[in-house]
Amino acid sequence: MTRLDKSVRRRTVLATGAAGAGVATVAAGVSAPAEAAGRRHFQHGVASGDPTAHRVVIWTRVTPTAASTPGSGKGPRVEVVWEVAKDRKFRKVVRRGTFTTGPDRDHTVKVDVGKLAPATWYFYRFRYRGTVSRVGRMRTAPGMLSLPGHLRFGVVSCANLQAGWFTAYRALAKRNDLHAVLHLGDYLYEYGPGQYGYGFDDVDIRKHQPAHEMVSLADYRQRHAQYKRDADLQDLHAKYPFIVTWDDHEVTNDQWRAGAENHNDDEGNYKRRRARAHRAYDEWMPARMDGTAALGDGDRLYRRLRFGRLAEISMLDLRSYRDQQVETAAPTPVPAAEAEVSDPDRTLVGRQQMLWLKRSLSRKRVQWKIIGNPVMIAPVTFAQVPQEIVGPINDVTGLIPMDGLPYNVDQWDGYTDDRREVLSYIRNHQIKDALFVTGDIHSGWACELPYDPATYPAQGDSAGVEFVCSSVTSNNLKDITNTPPRTTSRAVEQVIMENNRHIKYLNFDDHGFSVLDITAKRAQMDWFIIGDRADKTTTVNHTASWRTLSGSGKVQAVDRPVG
């Protein structure tokens, strides 16, 4: 059996741009009734992702009958026509094909469209029985040998629908200056209503569907569908291609390769649960997932995307291959826990992905090595943090074990040998312009990456820089402590930065998004914050900007955002 035949038998097949090349030409014009009917058949919008110089993935879901609801397993197999054009009115169609879908893939459509021109905006849409979806817009990456003047990405993470409205997505969708959106994980959350919502009291601004924690394949499909029905998220997906990775909540909280904190025996076999979650993610997200049995679970999400000679983005998967997190709560002896987090036999990245990451960092024809990093790599140690807020900080970030151990054990601080290996590789191979872009911890950070935090910066150098985006809606320190902005958090931020001189910026209070702008001379991250998550029309404001100059490995504050 050929590789293509195997792919067809798996759910993850992506139709190539050549598929359906003989389909009869469809008139470019679309009537108003066809558009209105299309909203019924294409209720979950359209999306694109993983742009390369000549290919982009496009996505939608068709609802062919009233019974064909997400996760139902009901409905016929149907054929959907897809089109890609150079103009919004589809007078200049450049690619067209058909895709057959059905209940076996939850009626989702995912096409890897090829033979496109580099650095070009395209428009795409889908047709079913005379109806048409909304029009999406996408852009290919620059050619491999080109040197673009700049690249600009929206950066988001941690969007809990129960915790508020997706104002961050709305603000990004209104911009006209981005090339793509980086989503660094926790695209959705597994909890049921009342389990994890808005702030201190866990009030739900919007309630999750289904009305319980997602465990079954139907549950995961329904939850993806609910998020894709959000108007702001639909608008952002239609405006820009996404480059995504997952963190833990796409399956369940604090997951690792063989289990999770938020999984118990009553919920069945964990690996089966994860397989269901990954299958639904593959069906519902515009990402290339290359399965290979050698990786152990059949799902490979880590991948590289090249943007000419200016930058390459390497998206990591830091959940599927990691060992279990260290248990640091009392009565675990402190020396034993310290030894375990630095055990060279424990891994966060996994050996195959580690070799792949080193190759990404070594790419000599690309200047900026951007690492899409689901959990924080910068080391964080603590002293003098008031004990009464240790618990709330843990709820947000997982940074401080209750017995005071200075390890962020769910992140790279809990797997220090992997971090040592990466940073040593950067130093030994004299790699410049390594930039880690991170989500997960519901707060904004700008950090340098010291080889030795104890002597930094007096006697040490930096391997690169890390920029961490805040959460779209998920609770931060202000929310958990139920305190006014810039009160409890200000003292905590000051203590953390005093004890970690490589951390230059920290914001525990605000939700929002970031914009990352890359040129040959510098990389700059701008942080934008929203008002009350419970207010659908809340304001958006710029709050901070930090940059790193090429070759410096340092960060510095900037007065204004790009653009």
Residues 6 or more apart whose CB falls under 8 angstroms from that of 25 comprise 93, 96
Which is nearest to 210 in space by CA: 200, 199, 195? 195
Parallel/antiparallel/unpaired status of strands 131-132 and 303-307? unpaired
Residues forming beta bridges with residue 101, ordered by sequence position: 78
User: CB atoms < 10 A from the CB of 391, how many?
Assistant: 12
Nearest-angstrom CA–CA distance, 549 and 359: 23
Tokens 């943090």 correspond to: 385
CATH of 151-557, one of 3.40.50.9100, 1.10.760.10, 3.40.50.2300, 3.60.21.70: 3.60.21.70
The CA distance from 503 to 6, in Å, is 48
| pLDDT digits (tens), the chain, 563 positions | 333 233 323 333 344 333 333 333 333 456 667 667 777 899 999 999 999 999 999 999 999 999 999 999 999 999 999 999 999 999 999 999 999 999 999 999 999 999 999 999 999 999 999 999 999 999 999 999 999 999 999 999 999 999 999 999 999 999 999 999 999 999 999 999 999 999 877 789 999 999 999 999 999 999 999 999 999 999 999 999 999 999 999 999 999 999 999 999 999 999 999 999 999 999 999 999 874 433 344 479 999 999 999 999 999 999 999 999 997 544 455 555 667 888 999 999 999 999 999 999 999 999 999 999 999 999 998 655 555 555 555 566 554 443 344 457 899 999 999 999 999 999 999 999 999 999 999 999 999 999 998 889 988 899 999 999 999 999 998 888 888 887 878 888 988 899 899 999 999 999 999 999 999 999 999 999 999 999 999 999 999 999 999 999 999 999 999 97
Task: Give the integer Cα–Cα distance in Å for 435 and 463.
Answer: 9
Query: What is the rounded distance in angstroms from the CA atom of residue 441 to the CA atom of residue 438?
Result: 9
Q: Are 51 and 305 in contact (CB under 8 A)?
A: yes
CATH 3.60.21.70 domain residues, the chain: 151-557
User: DSSP state, 198?
Assistant: B
Distance between CA atoms of 341 and 420, rounded to whole angstroms? 12
The predicted pLDDT at position 10 comes to 35
Residues 6+ apart with CB under 8 A from 89: 28, 29
- Specify the pLDDT at position 26: 38
Which has the closest alpha carbon to 64: 101, 119, 18, 32?
101
- Name the CATH architecture for the domain at 3-139: Sandwich (2.60)
Distances (CA, A) of 541 to 169, 480, 544: 14, 22, 10
Cis status of the peptide bond prior to 33, with omega within 30 of 0: no
- How far apart, in whole angstroms, are the C-alpha atoms of residue 283 and residue 267? 22
Pinpoint the residues of the chain covered by CATH 2.60.40.380.
3-139
Q: 3-class secondary structure for 335-369?
A: HHHHHHHCCCCCCCCCHHHHHHHHHHHCCCCCCEE
**CA–CA gap between residue 439 and residue 249 (Å, rounded):** 13
pTM to 2 decimal places:
0.91
pLDDT of residue 31: 67
In the chain, the N- to C-terminal Cα span, in Å, equals 52
pLDDT at 485 (0 to 100): 80
